[in-house]
Structure formats: C-alpha cells, structure tokens
Amino acid sequence: MDLSIANALFAILGLAVASGAAVDLTKIGSRGGIAVSAFASIQRAVHRLFAHAIGEKSAIDPASVERELLEMLRANWISAIALDKQKEHAKSILNLYLSPDLAKSFAIATRVDGHVLAAAAANKYTGAALTSEQEAVLARFDLALAAILEQGFQTANQKYRNWCHVLAGVFSVVFSVLGGLVISPDVLTFFHTGYFWLSVLFGVLATPLAPVARDILVNALSVIYKLAETLKK
C-alpha cells in the first residue's frame, strides 16, 4: 500500500469526523446515550434542593416539581445548548419555583435562614415589599444556588467530555482497522503485519481531533457555500 503524508492526514481527519459522528449517534433515542450518564451529576445537584421537602406535607408535590424540572434540564442537556445558558435557565426556573412550601428545603441546601427565605418567597408571590433582611437572604440564596448548579453542571460536562474521548478513541481505532482490512492486499495476514499497527496508530492520532473535526468541517463547508453564493451574484 502506498501511503503519502497527505493521504495519511486525510485518513486521520476522516477518522476523526467519523468517530465524532458515531459518538453523537449514541445520543439518539429516548435514553440519550452517554449524555444521560453524565446528567446524573446535575440530577444530584437539583435533588439537594428538594431532598428535605419530599415527604413533607405541603400544598405542592415536591417530587413532581423536581421531576418536571429535571425533564426540562435533561432536554436542554441532550440538545447540547451552551452550558452557561443551561445554568442560567436552571437558576431562573428554581427561583421561579421558590415558594413558602419549598423554602425550608431550599434554605437547608443553600445554608440560609429558612424562615426569612419563606417570608421572602411569600412576599415575592403576593407582590409585597421585601425587608432588608429578606433581600440579604435572597442575595445569599442566589449566590449559593449558583454555586450548587455550577458544581453540578461542570462535573457533568467534564464526565461527558471524558466519555466522549473514550468512545471516540474506540470508534477511531475500530474504523481505522476496518479501513485497513478493506484496502489490505491480504486480509488473512493483515493482523500479523505492520499495516495493522499503522491502522491502530491512525485511530489513536484521530482521537483528540474527534471533538473538533466535525465542527471544523461543517464551518469550512459553510464558508465554501457562502463564497459560492457570493460568486454567483
């Protein structure tokens, strides 16, 4: 097999794009693939806020509210919306859910005064003016809430990236070896030749490029399309 440097680079880039696409395909379906396994960190962060309210007598069902919130956050997570927007969305919804019934549990999770937080939530609901003490507690609650969500989302994002790298590496090596088999002059002896290890090497080299190769290719095609449209005018 004749292999030039240019061909090798194109092969590695092609493997990176293919493995990146294969990783994305794991998110298809109701389960969401590896994205959902990383989402567990966000679930734990949200559950910290509702943990002490579940089972308590209240006008609302905390477990149902938590499930509803997690479904919205899960949809955003699987859709790969920008992380900062996801955190801001989660924070906004949790502030919206803040009520006298959930204030005690939220206060325990964020380590603020539960009675003052409940009073502040009641005043916000009725439109009454907040006292300076209530405003101070709400400010501390807001900071603590942001910290809890930051930890949950950053941990989930790191786990997701790690799993993506692992899967991309597996896909890259498998695709590379299969490609080597296809073009090998002797399939029966392929695994006993240097071409097998060369295929493995190509797969390994393509792994770190997988997360960005597809985006680069899509952007390049977009630029070419726009350039072609401009030239037509």
pTM: 0.74
For residue 213, the model assigns a pLDDT of: 66
Q: Using alpha carbons, select from 82, 196, 102 the residue that is nearest to residue 145.
A: 102
Contact (Cβ atoms closer than 8 angstroms) between residue 169 and residue 204: yes
Q: Enter the tokens of residue 81.
A: 């919306």
Neighbours of 156 (CB within 10 A): 23
CA distance 24 to 164: 9
Q: What pLDDT sits at residue 184?
A: 80
Which DSSP string corresponds to 41-83?
HHHHHHHHHHTTTTTS--SS-HHHHHHHHHHHHHHHHHTT--H
pLDDT at 152: 95
- Predicted confidence at residue 31, as pLDDT, reads 62
Residue 125 in contact with residue 117, Cβ under 8 Å? Answer: no
In terms of C-beta density within 10 A (0-12 exposed, 13-18 middle, 19 or more buried), how is residue 198 classed? middle
pLDDT digits (tens, 9 = 90+) for 14-60: 888 888 878 777 776 556 667 778 899 999 999 999 998 876 777 77
* Amino acid 2: pLDDT: 55
* Phi, psi angles (nearest 5°) of residue 186: -140, 100
Positions in the chain whose pLDDT score sits under 70:
1-3, 28-33, 55, 213-222, 225, 232-233
pLDDT (0 to 100) of residue 85: 93
Q: What is the rounded CA–CA span in Å between residue 23 and residue 204?
A: 15
Q: How high is the pLDDT of residue 30? A: 54
Beta carbons of 210 and 23 less than 8 angstroms apart: yes
